[in-house]
Amino acid sequence: MTADLQIRPRLVSRALLIRFVSIFGSSIGFYLPLSVVPLFAKQTGSDSGAGLATVALLLATVAAELVTPRLVTRVGYRWALATGLVLLGAPTLLLTVSSNVWVIIGVSIIRGIGFAIAVVAGGAVTALLIPADRRGEGLALVGIVGGIPGLLALPAGVWAAAHWGFTPVFVATTVATLLALLSVPGLPRYDATPKEDGGHGVLAGLRNPVLTRPATVFAVSAAAVGVLVTFLPLAASDQPAWVAASALLAQPAAATAARWVAGRVGDRHGPGLLLVPGVVLSAVGMAAIAFTGTPSLVIGGAVVLGAGFGALQNATLTLMYARVPAGGESAVSAIWNAAYDLGMAAGALGAGLLIGSVGYPVTFVLAAVVIVPALALVRRDRRP
Over residues 197-209, the pLDDT tens digits come to 445 577 777 788 8
Is residue 302 in a domain?
yes
Is residue 8 in a domain?
no
Cβ neighbours of residue 110 closer than 8 Å, sequence gap 6 or more: 60, 87, 91
Query: Where residue 38 falls among pLDDT bands split at 50, 70, 90?
Result: confident
The answer to whether residues 167 and 230 belong to one domain is no
pLDDT in tens, 78-135: 999 999 999 999 999 999 999 888 999 999 999 999 999 999 888 888 888 888 778 8
Cβ neighbours of residue 166 closer than 8 Å, sequence gap 6 or more: 36, 39, 40, 43, 95, 96
Sign of CA dihedral 40, 45, 46, 50: positive
The answer to whether residues 137 and 256 belong to one domain is no
The pLDDT, as a whole number, for residue 330 is 77
Which residues form the domain of 246?
A: 202-382
What type of residue sits at position 81? L
Is residue 9 in a domain?
no
The answer to whether residues 110 and 243 belong to one domain is no
pLDDT over 60 (residue 193): no
Using the 3D structure, point to which of 156, 186, 216 is the last residue of a domain. 186
In angstroms, the first-to-last Cα distance of the chain is 24
The answer to whether residues 229 and 304 belong to one domain is yes
The pLDDT, as a whole number, for residue 282 is 96
Is residue 191 in a domain?
no
The answer to whether residues 172 and 239 belong to one domain is no
The answer to whether residues 313 and 273 belong to one domain is yes
User: Which pTM was predicted?
Assistant: 0.77
Query: Where residue 150 falls among pLDDT bands split at 50, 70, 90?
Result: confident
pLDDT in tens, 245-268: 788 788 888 998 898 898 888 888
Domain CATH for 220: 1.20.1250.20
pLDDT in tens, 277-314: 999 999 999 999 999 889 999 999 999 999 999 999 99
The percentage of residues in the chain with a pLDDT greater than 90, rounded to a whole number, is: 38
